[in-house]
Structure 1
Amino acid sequence: MGWQKALNALIGRSAELTRLAAVLDSAAAGLAGVALIGGDAGIGKTRLVTELAERAEAAGFAVLVGQCAELGDALPYLPLADALRGAPAELRAEIEARPILGRLLPGGVDLGAETASALTQQQLFGSMLGFLATRPVLLILEDLHWADRSTRDLLVFLSRMLQTERVCLVGTYRTDDLHRRHPLRRVLAELKRLPSVTAVELSPLGPDEMADHLSELGGTDPQVISEVVDRAEGNPFYAEELLEAVTDGCSMSDGLADLLLSRVEPLSDAAQRVLRTAAVAGRRVDHALLQEASGLDDLAFEDAMREIVSQGLLRPDGEYGYAFRHALLQEVVYTDLLPGERTRMHSEFARLLTAREGAAAELAYHYLAGHDLAEAMSASVEAGRRAERLGAPAEAHRHFEQALGLWDRVPDAERRAGTDRVRLAMRTAAAAADMGDNHRAIAQLRELPPTAETRERLAYYLYDSDDVPAAVAAAEEAVAAAAPGTAVLARALATLARTLIPTARDAEIGPLAERALEIAGDTGARDAQKSAMITLASCAEYDGDPGRAGELFGAAAAQESGDLAVDLRAIFQHARLTFEHGSMAEAAVIAERGVRLAEDSGLSWSTFGTDLRFLQLLIHYTAGDWVRARREGSGFGVRVGTNHEAILSSFALYVEVAMGLPEVDERLTWVRPFWSDSLVVYMSRALAAEHALWNGAPALALDHVTAVLDALDPAYMGNIRIGAVGLWALAELGRTDGADELLARARGPVRPGMGAEGHAWLARAEAEWHRAHGRADVGAWRAAVEAFDYGFVYETARSRWRLAEALLVSGDHAAALEEWRRAVRVAASLGARPLGDALADLGRRARFPAAESEAPSGAASGTGPGDASGGAFGGVAGSVAGAAAGSGSGAAEGRETRDGTRGRTPAGSRPGALTGREREVLTLVAEGLANREIGERLFIAQKTVSVHVSNILGKLGVSSRTQAAAVARREGLL
């Protein structure tokens, strides 16, 4: 037939195919991409992706194709199940290694326990992401306009999270089906804003292209081809049907629906009966099921099928089924059925599927269409349960709500549902919460009788919605209504303790959690027991008892609650506390266990899964294993489109900024649009401040610090570190104004039981405060070194850098050399280029022996950050050394200035010796401008600015830009 010949050539779509091939080529090179292909029905979307699939297979890609169906809204993940079912043999092992994906295959649904984890959808999403990352894959999802909510959510997740995987994801949809409120519209609008998404809209073919297409189909009469081109209006499928009609001697005056039906009418009665039965089944149908539903014997059925297939109306699909040649054909045949025919056929399919233990969602669809409300309600409840276990909360909610809507119209509803109405309504609310609609869950729970169970769940969802007063009130109602000594009371107490954490009722939290812990232990309520232990541990930590907190977190982490979210939360908190108190090796083991649990359960991208991965990165970063830290950070993509992705991307900045990698600027560019989010600001702008300092822009760094502090609660522990970075920037600028305020901000969150890292950053802040005031305090810097020496390799080396500067100022050259050498070795082993450059500059200025050979690779030559940001002495050491040298006091004996003289200003270095250009440069230096900015202001090269700055420092007899500015102000040179 003509439609089969059409596969031999792709006409009029070369530009669109080129764009799709570019996405495929990028995926092959390790840059995942998404293509969304839209167009009217029959415009050629499937033909285009068929051509792309052939190219992908030739390039070594595994090709997976999934098809949505018109009843797909009732069947969760239908196109994904379809794609996995048709996966090549070499991918079967990868599917089997992920049990949750295996549930989507025929016979693979494991009903499991009565209750399902709220993380099931995240498990499925994470498992699918891991599965796609195993090898080059082209995943095609067709007819997304019929996709269920969970499939749409999966599409968004994969589009956002696929980054460096060799994956090309392609989706097709009908534009003429997208009415104003169609749920796919919002998804498409969101996805098309992503940089990884290529949108392709198929417009009608031009007259010449249509003529070529018809010729390829076998058209030979120019007049017929011309008439078909005029009628088809650029739609290839319509053109094929028109040409077929003319070939069969029919008229071209009918519309597309009439044309399609005219193809059906010449069929025998038996063939028409089979085709109409197939239309009721949907786009695809199983061979045996279709035969049974048609009521024909083997021979008659085979004859009918041979007739239908020969006419190109149905085509063999898979090993045991058939599919309509085009979805439009199925729609037209179904619509042409009389109401009574539809009802009877749906009832017959429901009966046959029940006997075959078919999909509950499909059963519910056919029972409803067949007007059997009792069976429809039973099937809807079962479909909701199965959807829960598949990680499809939106579909579970839809089926449960459908069952509740039928409840009053069905006699003996409780027996048919296998549960009472209140429990079914609670499951409906839980499904609403799991799909992210807490407001709907809260509204549904408020309509239920105020029992202990309903109030406890209401309190839980209210707390998650940040309505703390209402959550506390609901939790108190739950405790009051619960029977003594029951698991329900244990859960209510644990939830009440949790809801009180943000309130002023601190004294009640501990006793409530203790009581919950006791009752949970007696009743076996493991979820309540673990929740209470975590709350108690948090209270102990806040009260300054880290030992007790560690015991409780450890005990909670060692138990399995049956709720993966709670289990991961406990492991994370245990690893975090252990890390913060300096036990690096133990923290690494705990975090690794949590990461492994998240990976094995498909939850690497869940909230606590990503938190654990970041904590693991931070532990390796802190302990000095930057190879692993960078490898873990590379998993957090650069191309971001949401706050959550921006947070994940910011994690990688720790290592990238410290190593001075070129990726930093690109990552910050992508993250910048999300600086309205406080956590993104804290994560990324704090590191952007350090990046600016390393690159000679202290004023910019101070802007970043100010923005971070404005976004943080003063009680947040991160204020300590941010305050220290801000004081570093002030010291580089030679400013004391604001230093006291920054130190006070850093001291604000200090409390009993604070971890080792908090104390270390506070010591750094104190030392930087002295630098900002022009003092090189050896004691303060030695305290910072000792505080970080609990295992924070990089920060210990950074503090040794400043300690070496302070020791030089104090005259202890030998001790300075020893600290410098130790810092150099660490910087070299880590690959910390910015620190290495600063140390190399310090070594040159101090005339340390073998400075060039001991500096890290790439740091011994060229200009270090000292030349751009105020010298390696960073303003403090230079200030003190310069002042002592200028005074001629005995304290200057044994100290070396940048030109190697001891204790005195070189001849000719009086301020008056500056040239006019040097005075201009000095004025801008005093304003805090970096060399690049000075060059732009004065229209001279950056290298020329560097020469002027070096001359200025030499003539003034100082070692830093900060001291030069101070001397200039004192001498009236500005």
Structure 2
Amino acid sequence: MKGLLVGRGAELARLVGVLQSAATGTAGVALVGGDAGIGKTRLVTELVAEARERGFHVLSGQCAELGDALPYLPLADALRGAEPAVREAAAGHPLLGQLLPGVESAPSAGLTQQRLFGSLLGLLAGIQPVLFVIEDLHWADRSTRDLLVFLSRMVQTEQVCVVGTYRTDDLHRRHPLRSVLAELKRLPTVTGVELGPLDTGAMSDYVATMGEVDAQELGVIVTRADGNPFYAEELFAAMSEGDSLPDGLASLLMSRVEVLSEPGQSVLRAAAVAGRRVEDELLREVSGLPLADFEEAVREIVSRGLLRVDGYGYAFRHALLQEAVYTDLLPGERTRLHAAFARLLTSPAELAHHHLAGHDLAGALAASAEAGRLAERVGAPAEAHQHYDQALSLWERVPDAEALTGESRVSLAFRSALMAADSGDNHRAVTQLRALPPTSGVCERLAYYLFEMDDQDGAIAAAEQAVAMATDDACLARALATHARTLTWSSRHAESQELALRAQEVARAAGARDAEVSALLTLALHAELHGDTDKAHDLVSVASSEGTGDLAMDLRARFHHARIHYETGYLAFAATAADEGIRVASETGLTWSTYGTDMRFLRFLIHYVAGEWDQAETVAASFGSRVGTAPEATLSSFALFLEVARGLPAVESRLGWLRPFWSDGLVAYIARGLAAEHALWQGDPELALAHVRALLDMLQPGDPAVLRIAAIGLWALGDLGVVEDADEMVEQARFAVTTGPVGQRGPMGLEGRAWALRVEAEWHRVHGRLDPELWRQVVEAFDYGFVYETARARWRLAEALLAAGDRDTAQTEWALAQEAATTLRAAPLEQALADFGKRARFTAVTGARAAAPESSNGGLTARELEVLALVAEGLTNREIAERLFIAQKTVSVHVSNILGKLDVSTRTQAAATARAHGLLD
């Protein structure tokens, strides 16, 4: 199966460079090395195609595993398969002609090396430009190796490019090609190209070219193939037949093992039982060989490229090689080797593996439980969960399991559930908790995770049970705090504050800091909903000021500290808080937990809103597009904000992988909403409406998420010129503004107010009313720092102004939008603005600040530069608000962002920095 050339752009560019030099009269040689199956032939095939397009004649021959039995085999192969013009030219050189089929052989004495090489040089000079490819040099006979050296040294000003390929994993220390390669790579005309394993992203792309594969299968193939395209192809083909290790691939791998001496094979088998890596001393002990024999065996294995030196030990060159050797072991041999390793190891995780493989179930149970506790202590929740689950699977098969593990089965299962949640698998955590006898602690955690999974009714019921079953103040405090949290967005939200205050009081008395922080965060949210943003800030600051001993709770507090700054427009402070939260999540193993995931997408959004799109793209690259779990899908969906806005080709692929997760509320809201925007940019408003209607049916009435979706739907209706559904959409949005999801609706944040205004403006547009004043309000609302949405609103404002006859102001707004779109590289918006400008016959940018690189404006937006200029004049926030006709709160947000971006702490320092860097010019 031949896939597309993936992940080899840099290597191909180097080869094309050698080809280009040859085309201009500077001959060159390229030597391409890499493991079997790594893609050497595929790369050279691409080069051959490039050479033919450039008018090169191509000679291509292969060496064979025949030793010196057939000298010059690749040259003869190349001449036999050459195009007619080359064969005709070769026939004019008698010695070369003898290599062609159908030609009578001359006496062997006449085929001297010197005369043959001279004839070949004459042929190459006569048919130039020419590309001569010699594949599989590791099998080359001596004459062919001499030919390669001759060409590398003798072709100079000819239009000749020679490319040779060889397997690095076949070059043992006594291989005759090693010295030849070492000699040739010192020549200035020789370029060495080493093909390493493809990285995970490139391998994923490559596997996706082979056919349909789900995320789980993709992950298995990519992990096991370990960067080797051929192995990936074999695994892909075998997966449909249920093969663990394809016979053909196993045979290929074992053929390299079978050439080892018996001591070498014995040591390699022991290494395979150890795993991918093994320490030198440990391997020597298990092998049982005398030191001198052991070292000779290892030297042989390493020289054959089967193991490589790795620190104080050895690692298999490829994971599948270890798997093949391990699979080839006899059952008794495997058991004895595992037992030997178990006697020598002290690491609980390794002990558990070897005890289990050696059928020592009691040893495996005790070691698994200890390995889980160790992983939990060092911040590795996924590994801890895996170890605990292995211990639980052995529990019923081992007598005195509780004595061996030092804790009860219920306690171990509870630990396993907590670790599952910390590693991002709330579904698994809930399943395990539901299987346990109900206690206050079990029910509290169940309620906590159900709430995060949006099962509100289940969460409330479990929280009430936790409160009723509490046996001490610490348990009661946690149960009350979680109960208050579960009621926040329910019809019983009025009870939430009282429960949270009671939880706070009980937690303080019991010294349960984690429960106190949970209660504080719920109280902060209650304050937000009732318009007391300052109080909410204070509560969140207290909650995140010191650790609780519960890492997941600490991360939740840090997330809300960053979120509340983001939602009130303090983007610079939000960025600092989010960066710190991401660091903590990474160090504590909580990267894929609920708030570890949330923290990463919040950091992306801060970049996105602030117009730092190159940084946002870097963050999005870590999200991955081929997803297999709900946390992965959540992160991946946020990358669409940037990809849709920039019109990147990755959009369709990402949407395809996210489609199975559209039953998840957050993923659907983000992904389908952006799929609708993408459809609009692609000129398909009908498809956009289909996405919008599906989302509006899914979203709870009053959910503020309705605002953005309704705005997109009205945009689509406006493009279609259809008023049907417009009134219903605007009423859904108004209900979200006035009432909220459960009959409570506190003051909306900056972004929410901006989207609400845009809904109204889009609704008027659907009805044919382009209202400049309303669109100006949208611009002002988004101009708290949301660069892209401000530009999109300016686009519509320019349309409305032009329709109202105010051409000069329309052109000013158009130019500002165009400047922002260009800076952001927002291609769809750039195109829309270009089309509008052409229709309006706008010919020059007037009234807008000339576009400048970010380094010249300190990263400040156009509005922030205006505010900064007035700050430098000494105006107060109230005076700036009056001068710019914006809210005083919005000025405060701009000033905070300016201080953060300029890395200063006072208005005076900001003014001085602005003057020093020419920001006031």
Same fold (TM over 0.5): yes
Within the alignment, does 1:587 sit opposite 2:578 as a pair?
Answer: no
Q: CA deviation at 1:521?
A: 3.4
Q: Find the aligned partners of 1:854 and 1:305 in 2 and give their Cα distance.
A: 76
Given the superposition, is the C-alpha separation of residues 53 and 478 from structure 1 closer, same or farther in structure 2, using an over 3 Å criterion? same
Unaligned stretches of 5+ in structure 1? 1-15, 31-47, 60-134, 141-151, 176-183, 193-198, 206-233, 245-262, 858-974
The aligned counterpart of 1:713 is 700
Given the superposition, is the C-alpha separation of residues 158 and 589 from structure 1 closer, same or farther in structure 2, using an over 3 Å criterion? farther
Query: 1:769 is matched by which residue type in structure 2?
Result: W
Count of residues in Structure 1 that have an aligned counterpart in Structure 2: 651
1:775 is paired with a residue whose SS is: coil
The aligned counterpart of 2:721 is 734
Within the alignment, does 1:520 sit opposite 2:507 as a pair?
Answer: yes
Matches within 5 A, 1:592-631: 592-598=579-585, 607-631=594-618
Out of 248, 256, 260, the position equivalent to 1:203 is: 248
Q: CA deviation at 1:723?
A: 1.8
The aligned counterpart of 2:766 is 772
Given the superposition, is the C-alpha separation of residues 755 and 334 from structure 1 closer, same or farther in structure 2, using an over 3 Å criterion? same
* 1:369-402 Cα distance to aligned partner (Å, 9 max, x none): 8898876654343233235445414531244326
Q: Find the aligned partners of 2:767 and 2:549 in 1 and give their Cα distance.
A: 56
Within the alignment, does 1:381 sit opposite 2:365 as a pair?
Answer: no
Query: 2:770 is matched by which residue type in structure 1?
Result: A
Q: Find the aligned partners of 2:801 and 2:719 in 1 and give their Cα distance.
A: 19
Within the alignment, does 1:798 sit opposite 2:789 as a pair?
Answer: no
The aligned counterpart of 1:480 is 468
Q: Find the aligned partners of 1:611 and 1:772 in 2 and give their Cα distance.
A: 36
The aligned counterpart of 2:8 is 25
Query: 2:787 is matched by which residue type in structure 1?
Result: V
Given the superposition, is the C-alpha separation of residues 405 and 431 from structure 1 closer, same or farther in structure 2, using an over 3 Å criterion? farther
Given the superposition, is the C-alpha separation of residues 279 and 783 from structure 1 closer, same or farther in structure 2, using an over 3 Å criterion? closer
Given the superposition, is the C-alpha separation of residues 284 and 741 from structure 1 closer, same or farther in structure 2, using an over 3 Å criterion? closer
* 1:428-478 Cα distance to aligned partner (Å, 9 max, x none): 444566677767766765665654334434444555566655544443343
Within the alignment, does 1:51 sit opposite 2:110 as a pair?
Answer: no
* 1:597-631 Cα distance to aligned partner (Å, 9 max, x none): 44555666655444334333333333333443344
Matches within 5 A, 1:524-563: 524-563=511-550
The aligned counterpart of 2:227 is 168
Q: CA deviation at 1:644?
A: 5.5
Q: Find the aligned partners of 1:399 and 1:169 in 2 and give their Cα distance.
A: 31
Q: CA deviation at 1:668?
A: 5.2
Q: Find the aligned partners of 2:772 and 2:299 in 1 and give their Cα distance.
A: 92
Query: 2:347 is matched by which residue type in structure 1?
Result: A
Given the superposition, is the C-alpha separation of residues 191 and 793 from structure 1 closer, same or farther in structure 2, using an over 3 Å criterion? farther
Q: CA deviation at 1:720?
A: 1.3
Deviates more, 1:372-381 or 1:551-560: 372-381
Within the alignment, does 1:452 sit opposite 2:435 as a pair?
Answer: no
1:748 is paired with a residue whose SS is: helix
CA contact (8 A) 1:770 1:777 kept: yes
Query: 2:248 is matched by which residue type in structure 1?
Result: S
Q: Find the aligned partners of 2:804 and 2:476 in 1 and give their Cα distance.
A: 66
Q: CA deviation at 1:849?
A: 7.3
CA contact (8 A) 1:393 1:434 kept: no
Identity within the alignment, %: 48
2:748 is paired with a residue whose SS is: coil
CA contact (8 A) 1:279 1:334 kept: no
CA contact (8 A) 1:546 1:753 kept: no
Within the alignment, does 1:409 sit opposite 2:375 as a pair?
Answer: no
Given the superposition, is the C-alpha separation of residues 592 and 424 from structure 1 closer, same or farther in structure 2, using an over 3 Å criterion? closer
Query: 1:424 is matched by which residue type in structure 2?
Result: L
1:51 is paired with a residue whose SS is: coil
Given the superposition, is the C-alpha separation of residues 851 and 521 from structure 1 closer, same or farther in structure 2, using an over 3 Å criterion? same
Q: CA deviation at 1:754?
A: 0.7
CA contact (8 A) 2:238 2:245 kept: no
Out of 753, 760, 765, the position equivalent to 1:759 is: 753
Deviates more, 1:312-321 or 1:401-410: 312-321
Given the superposition, is the C-alpha separation of residues 515 and 161 from structure 1 closer, same or farther in structure 2, using an over 3 Å criterion? farther
CA contact (8 A) 1:279 1:331 kept: no
The aligned counterpart of 2:689 is 702
The aligned counterpart of 1:423 is 411
CA contact (8 A) 1:836 1:856 kept: no
The aligned counterpart of 2:732 is 745
CA contact (8 A) 2:385 2:417 kept: no
Q: Find the aligned partners of 1:681 and 1:656 in 2 and give their Cα distance.
A: 16
Given the superposition, is the C-alpha separation of residues 561 and 807 from structure 1 closer, same or farther in structure 2, using an over 3 Å criterion? same
2:248 is paired with a residue whose SS is: coil
Matches within 5 A, 1:320-359: 335=331, 352-353=344-345, 358-359=346-347
* 1:801-846 Cα distance to aligned partner (Å, 9 max, x none): 3334434444445544544454444444444454455555555555
Q: CA deviation at 1:764?
A: 1.7
2:712 is paired with a residue whose SS is: helix
The aligned counterpart of 2:391 is 400
Q: Find the aligned partners of 1:372 and 1:537 in 2 and give their Cα distance.
A: 53
Deviates more, 1:718-727 or 1:426-435: 426-435
CA contact (8 A) 1:556 1:570 kept: yes
Q: CA deviation at 1:734?
A: 2.9
Given the superposition, is the C-alpha separation of residues 407 and 288 from structure 1 closer, same or farther in structure 2, using an over 3 Å criterion? same
Q: CA deviation at 1:27?
A: 8.8
The aligned counterpart of 1:508 is 495
Q: CA deviation at 1:749?
A: 1.0
Given the superposition, is the C-alpha separation of residues 155 and 489 from structure 1 closer, same or farther in structure 2, using an over 3 Å criterion? farther
Given the superposition, is the C-alpha separation of residues 424 and 688 from structure 1 closer, same or farther in structure 2, using an over 3 Å criterion? closer
Q: Find the aligned partners of 1:375 and 1:503 in 2 and give their Cα distance.
A: 49
Deviates more, 1:515-524 or 1:598-607: 598-607
Q: Find the aligned partners of 1:478 and 1:528 in 2 and give their Cα distance.
A: 13
Q: Find the aligned partners of 1:137 and 1:665 in 2 and give their Cα distance.
A: 27
Within the alignment, does 1:572 sit opposite 2:548 as a pair?
Answer: no
Query: 1:788 is matched by which residue type in structure 2?
Result: F
Given the superposition, is the C-alpha separation of residues 809 and 716 from structure 1 closer, same or farther in structure 2, using an over 3 Å criterion? same
Q: CA deviation at 1:560?
A: 2.9
Q: Find the aligned partners of 2:10 and 2:400 in 1 and give their Cα distance.
A: 53
Q: Find the aligned partners of 1:813 and 1:521 in 2 and give their Cα distance.
A: 65
Q: CA deviation at 1:513?
A: 2.0
CA contact (8 A) 2:530 2:747 kept: yes
Unaligned stretches of 5+ in structure 2? 14-32, 45-194, 201-213, 738-744, 852-921
Q: CA deviation at 1:518?
A: 2.9
Given the superposition, is the C-alpha separation of residues 137 and 553 from structure 1 closer, same or farther in structure 2, using an over 3 Å criterion? farther
Q: Find the aligned partners of 1:307 and 1:817 in 2 and give their Cα distance.
A: 80
Given the superposition, is the C-alpha separation of residues 385 and 796 from structure 1 closer, same or farther in structure 2, using an over 3 Å criterion? closer
The aligned counterpart of 2:481 is 494
Within the alignment, does 1:788 sit opposite 2:773 as a pair?
Answer: no
Q: Find the aligned partners of 2:476 and 2:434 in 1 and give their Cα distance.
A: 19
CA contact (8 A) 1:760 1:788 kept: yes
Q: Find the aligned partners of 1:157 and 1:627 in 2 and give their Cα distance.
A: 28
* 1:194-252 Cα distance to aligned partner (Å, 9 max, x none): xxxxx9956399xxxxxxxxxxxxxxxxxxxxxxxxxxxx88958997x99xxxxxxxx
Q: CA RMSD in A?
A: 5.6
Query: 1:203 is matched by which residue type in structure 2?
Result: G
Q: Find the aligned partners of 1:810 and 1:283 in 2 and give their Cα distance.
A: 72
CA contact (8 A) 2:812 2:847 kept: no
* 1:257-303 Cα distance to aligned partner (Å, 9 max, x none): xxxxxx99xx9xxx999999999989998776677779x8xxx9458
Matches within 5 A, 1:78-157: none
CA contact (8 A) 1:28 1:136 kept: no
Q: Find the aligned partners of 2:517 and 2:39 in 1 and give their Cα distance.
A: 53
